[in-house]
Every structure is written in structure tokens, then in C-alpha cells.
Structure 1
């Protein structure tokens, strides 16, 4: 019973609690004598002090108590202090001294994951957007912006130290002026993840019906793609943008695509991936994190035969870099593919 009452005291936001509130902790199996003895023990040990002006009940127990927060939180503070000595020195846990035990227990697993990242990598040396940093630290690109990560990072005084850009970089792309000048209402765009593939495709842009070729630069595209209409000078809602994505065929590339699909309804440039699957894969991607939902959605885009090839590749801890396709192959695929989405 003592531990139950201490748990109640830990959760109280104010500094006072009534006897009737504490009585609610007692079960039908507890006698009132046992309850009374526990209250006296807590008073003797300094967890509470009586509010004398509120009187006592028929058993001589105070009707109200003043909670001694320092004593109540002593074990919690000691636990936090012990962990503070172990974690990376940039993580500040002192703010949790005034938090509830429940809040500490909720945040502690995230803090330990952050510590794992910092112990292995140290603080970042360059700026990037929140999606990329979130994926680096938690293997979840939504954690910082959508799952409470920013509030936690602010609390431990780490958000600014992670070099997260508040303003996204401008979108990098090449323009096909022929398409832009035709005043089409639907403009097609192709995002490629890597610089080498961007350079390999840029000569073909004028021979396609695409308005732009966009350099995604890994996760950077996640925060800058929304600038596309304004940077093109096509902010009018009547202009529609059909955007395709082609990246490395690995877990991270699939996660980037799925994030863009959810956020911007980006489509998969499937023809490039189908061409990659006709070539030998590369070994050496053993440490990437698998996003089950992203992989499931990605596989749905392919035939059953190609799905089996992709799954077999992942079982071998292998991947396909975009560079597996030659410049000539990239040109041929882009020009000859039928760009419709099933």
C-alpha cells in the first residue's frame, strides 16, 4: 500500500492532497488500521506533513496533507541523476526533475535512442532538414515534426545542437522551357535521389514531355518539394503537378519515396526500377532500418515476379544504386516509357 500511495503523491500536480483522495487507494482487502499505519509511516518518513487547520478524522488522521515534493521525488531524481552521468554530455536531463514519473518513463526510451546516436556519431557538423535528421536519429522521418520529437529535444536542450534548418533549401532542378512555354495545365516532374543520376539525365530533359528534372539530394527533397510551384512561377491552383520519384532501391530510398507519397502524392518512376531489377544487385546494406509500411506500399507497385526479386535482394542484405543504370540506359528509359500511373 505504501508504494501505491507514493505513486499517487508523485502524480499530484499541486502541493496538497486530502485524506479522502488517499483512502481511494485502499482496496477491500486492506483494513483501515493498515491504511492508518501506512499514513503514519509516510508522515514519519517525511513524504507528507499534516495541514493542522483542516483537523482530523475519527481515527486521528489529518484531513489534509501537504506533499513534500523533494522527498516524494527523491528516488526519481536519483535515477535521473544516475543516467545523466552515463549519457552523452550534450543531453540535459535536469528539466525532468520537475516532471512526473510518468513523463520520465514515457520519454526515457527516446532519450536512450538519442544517446545511442550521439555516442556513435557525435553532434552533426552540417545542417539538414528535420525529416532527414529525424530519420538519422530515430529511423523515423516523422518523429521530430509529427510525433513529439521536437518538444522532447527542446526539453533536453538538444534541438538547436542537432543543426536542423528552420528554412528549407531552395529546390534544385533543371527546366524544359518547351513544356513551360506551352502553358500546359499538367506538368510532369522527375525527382532523382543522387547527383550522378541527375547529371546523367539532364541531357535528355528537352527530349521528354517533362517540365523539370529535380535533384532530390536524399532526404533534403522532403522539406523543399513544396516550393516547386512558386519556384517555377506556376502557383496558380489550376496548374497540376504530376511528380515521379526514382531513387536507390534500398530501405532508405524506399522510405524517402513513401514519405513523399504520403506528403505530396508523389508517384513511383517504376520503369527505372524494373530496369535495375534485370541487373545484378550489390552487397553491403546491412544496417539500414526497414519501414514495413513503406516496403509494403513499394512492393505493391510491381509484378509478383519483381516483388520476389526485391524480397530476395533484401534477404541478401543487398541493394541497387541508381548508378547501376548507364547514362544511355537512363536516356532510353526516360524517353520511351509511358508515363501513366496505374
Structure 2
């Protein structure tokens, strides 16, 4: 390799270097010679190509920008910082073994450490996840959508240790009868919920052969968390309902929602499928061109739903294996309305 002091790359005190600045800094007018040095610096790990910066159009081509990778020796001071500056509550093992990762997460860890040192009393006061996140980092969704939970895990901390509570989306419900011993129907999709509400307002109380007192809008998977707040959301007459029926699309997502609800809340509610609705959907779909479900759907379902569908199990399996699904909206206002 040409006699160029690699330390001068670090002496530029930049994380990202523009290639023309680097050539000027090295004072090498011979471009092929300069390009060879840059490629060697990439090969030995000193520099990394910033491929989004695109090539410079010269021969041989170089990228317009390069990232300076920290010299391992230059990271040694971070070991002392981890050992001596971390609060006692912070685990040290992960970051001592991953100093470059610590360098990436450092500013967030420092903010968290400052919070533990200077605002520890606030940890005794519960906050929502976004409230706590903003209190610590000034970024309200850092715990929920950002890297916050990974950093906690790396430090051996937990959300429980931050004394946060979740805030599931509140669910919307409509009751035609406000008395105890309710028959509740959870409806996955908005259009079907509004259609049944419209019919309830007009005085109808039975749908597809089933008497229904209250309908809850499930909003897809949101209902899975929202039911945690059931007793704090509903009026007293809805506490301890007689039964809870579920009705959604016949696809992996809809089936998965029902099965997870059943597993999670079976000790609280008597949850069953609205089998009359599902049977009607299957019969109406016979001979029709059906939509294809998204490849992104989680296909990890159990046998709970299929077993409850009894003799219709094979027809549903055949449908799913063909990549098709039956939307809830196949049952429309005309079908739901009592003659």
C-alpha cells in the first residue's frame, strides 16, 4: 500500500468524507494512484462506500462519499465510559462486547442514564409509553416505533421497569338494548358494523337468525388490545355479557384474530364464532370469483376456528389453499335486513 498515514483519515474528524475533499486532504493529484489508495482503505475496513452517493463517473470509478469506520483502538475509551458511567441499574455486558453498537446508541443511552440519575422519582409515577418516551428522549414514539425497546433489552431493562402503561385504541360500540345479560357481536370491518347499526336504529334486533344486543367495531387486529380495557370502556349493563360472538373475513387474518381473542380472553368472556354468518358467507361465495388475499398475511393459524366450523372446515381449507378469501362485506344490507 502507498505510504499514506491512515490516521490522517481519522484526523479529518468526519464520519462522512466527500471524495474530492479526501483527495485534496491527501494532496494526491494522480487520480489512479489516489483511487488505488481509497480502494485499499475500503478493503482494510477503514472506509465504507456510501452507495447512495453514486459513482463519480471517473476511471476507475469511486463513490462520491465514504463513511469513516472507527478504529477499534479509538473505541477503547468507550469501555471506561460503560464501566464507570452507567447507572447501577444498567447491564454492561452487551455493550462491552459491542462497542460499535454502543457508539451508535450512545446519545440515547446517555439520555436514559441522565433520567435515571436526575429524575428517578418520576419512575414511581406511571406514564403512557409515549409520555415516558418524550420525558426521557424528547421523542414521543421512540419506545413504540423507534429503537428504544432494543436499547432497553441491551441494557437488561424492561418496559415494566420504566413504569409505562399501554394505550390501546378505544373501541366503538352500539347497543339497541341497555339491560344486563347482553349478547355482544364483535364485527371486524367498519362497513358491516355501520350496516348492522343502521338496521338496529330502525328497530331490528336479530341478524341471520341470531338476537344481538350490542355490536362492537373490532377495527381489524386493534380489538385484541382494546378488549383489555373492556370494563373501563363500557357502561355497567355490558359488564359480564351473556355471550360474545365474533365475525370477520374468512382469511388468515380474520381467523387469526378470532383464535387469539379466544385464547387470550376465554376466562373473561364466552367467545364463539358467529357461525350463522360464516356459513352464509361460504354459501354466498359458491360459484363466485373471489379476491386473492395478500401475501403479507400471517398464515400461522391454529385449528380452533376450523374445528368450530364443523362440516364447512374442508371448504374453508380449500379456499385458503387456493389463495382466496371471502370478505365480510359479501353479506350486505339487503341480506341482513329482515323481510
Q: TM-score, normalised by structure 2?
A: 0.48
The TM-score normalised by the length of structure 1 is 0.47
